[in-house]
A = this chain, B = another copy of it.
Amino acid sequence: MAEKQGSVGLVKAQGVRFDAPLTLRSGAVLPGFDLVFETYGTLNADRSNAILVCHALSGHHHVAGYTDPDNTDKTLGWWDNMIGPGKPVDTDRFFVVGVNNLGGCHGSTGPKTQNPATGRPWGADFPVVAVIDWVHAQARLADHLGIGQWAAVMGGSLGGMQALRWAITYPDRLRHAIVIAAAPSLTAENIAFNDVARQAILTDPDFHGGHYYEHGVRPWRGLRLARMLGHITYLGEEQMAEKFGRKRRPDAGSYGFDVEYEVESYLHYQGDKFAGWFDANTYLLMTRALDYFDPARTAGGDLAGALAVAKSEFFVAAFSSDWRFSPARSREIVNALVRNGQDVTYAEIDSVHGHDSFLMEDAHYHALVRAYMKRVLP
């Protein structure tokens, strides 16, 4: 099969073990941990071209390229349209690192991996992690890779929150924070949607208090519902209207509760697919980390106060149709930085794709990121 143009090509995950315990924000101590990561491009001689890409709720370390040369489309990284040779984040210029976060289900230490204290999977005993814990773990990965300072830490959604947290927690270890489709904290409505998703999982009889692995079952019903609900909040309302409207499936029956409308079919497909591969305990952890994220809190609710310690420059981008993390939320970040006299570039991008816009290939959006990356590494 021909190499995809602009692709980093075939990639292979790497793993690293950190034996020193990690004290989490909750006070729990993780007795060493593994991280799985991928890298693309080449670290330059002065180690000044490294970019960390942080993933969102359902993401992982496989950001770009493909893992199976015979199945490139289906094994493509989740941000392959953004990262690769000649792409907005140009791997001919940058050394890009993707990592699966602690608590994840793609190889890094998490609920599915073995709890050394019991010899069985952690399950529900895996400690609840916060965004800052991920950032500390990522800092160890940076040490391991010999990266004293990232050229940029970037991410969309929950990934953007990690970039923000990096800027506050390790101000000397990044030159740029690229914060896309994120928010400085969740609203009550955001928390409410997370709560329903979690309750779907927690009340699934196959959840078994989070120790379902040992019962040979998975709370797929709950995870499926969580993902279906999530999808509604990821899409733009206008986009849903255009894509599905009130269209019915050609083969639909009627006057029953099976799938009749196209939008039902889409949600079931997405829910089934996700429930087939994602881990429910990880979903719980990721949504709780989202709930907790609120860097302003330790500064008495003053976001500008919390951001004042940052030394990086900021690129903040939001999408007009994103009602999960609306542009107004991104502007809170921008306004706080402006108030501090900090260096921030803000882009509010017209898009019909809702929260998912940050993952989409959009010429204007990509041109803006491309332009900013010239500033990251002139």
Q: Which residues in A have some Cβ–Cβ distance to B below 8 Å?
A: 25-28, 127-128, 185-189, 191-193, 195-196, 198-200, 202-205, 221, 224-225, 228-229, 231-232, 235, 237, 240-241, 243-246, 254-257, 260-264, 267-268, 271, 284, 288, 291, 294
In the bound complex, what is the Cα–Cα distance between A244 and B228 (angstroms)?
25
Q: Is the CB of B127 within 8 A of A255?
A: yes
Q: Is the CB of A205 within 8 A of B205?
A: yes
The residue of chain B having its C-beta at the shortest distance from the C-beta of A285 within the complex is B257
Chain A to chain B: the 5 pairs with minimum beta-carbon distance, closest first: A26-B255, A188-B244, A128-B255, A188-B240, A203-B221
Q: Is the CB of A240 within 8 A of B26?
A: no
In the bound complex, what is the Cα–Cα distance between A267 and B256 (angstroms)?
29
Q: Is the CB of B243 within 8 A of A202?
A: no
Q: Is the CB of A264 within 8 A of B187?
A: no
On chain B, the residues within 8 Å of A288 by CB distance are 255, 257
Quote the shortest CB–CB distance from A24 to chain B (angstroms).
Answer: 8
Quote the shortest CB–CB distance from A234 to chain B (angstroms).
Answer: 11
Q: Is the CB of B263 within 8 A of A188?
A: yes
The residue of chain B having its C-beta at the shortest distance from the C-beta of A288 within the complex is B257
Q: Is the CB of A267 within 8 A of B188?
A: no
- Counting every copy of the chain, the complex holds 2
Q: Is the CB of B195 within 8 A of A264?
A: yes
Interface residue SS majority, chain A:
helix
In the bound complex, what is the Cα–Cα distance between A191 and B288 (angstroms)?
28
Q: Which of A27, A127, A192, A235 has the most CB of B within 10 A?
A: A192
Q: Is the CB of A26 within 8 A of B254?
A: yes
Asked, given contacts A199-B228, A225-B199, A256-B128, whether A294 binds B246 with beta carbons under 8 Å apart, the answer is yes
Q: Is the CB of B188 within 8 A of A241?
A: yes
On chain B, the residues within 8 Å of A267 by CB distance are 192, 195-196
On chain B, the residues within 8 Å of A241 by CB distance are 187-189
On chain B, the residues within 8 Å of A127 by CB distance are 255
Quote the shortest CB–CB distance from A11 to chain B (angstroms).
Answer: 34
The residue of chain B having its C-beta at the shortest distance from the C-beta of A244 within the complex is B188
Q: Is the CB of A191 within 8 A of B254?
A: no
In the bound complex, what is the Cα–Cα distance between A245 and B190 (angstroms)?
10
Asked, given contacts A188-B246, A255-B26, A257-B198, whether A225 binds B228 with beta carbons under 8 Å apart, the answer is no
In the bound complex, what is the Cα–Cα distance between A198 and B288 (angstroms)?
25
Quote the shortest CB–CB distance from A377 to chain B (angstroms).
Answer: 37
Quote the shortest CB–CB distance from A331 to chain B (angstroms).
Answer: 16
Quote the shortest CB–CB distance from A258 to chain B (angstroms).
Answer: 9
In the bound complex, what is the Cα–Cα distance between A246 and B183 (angstroms)?
14
Asked, given contacts A128-B255, A255-B26, whether A192 binds B225 with beta carbons under 8 Å apart, the answer is no
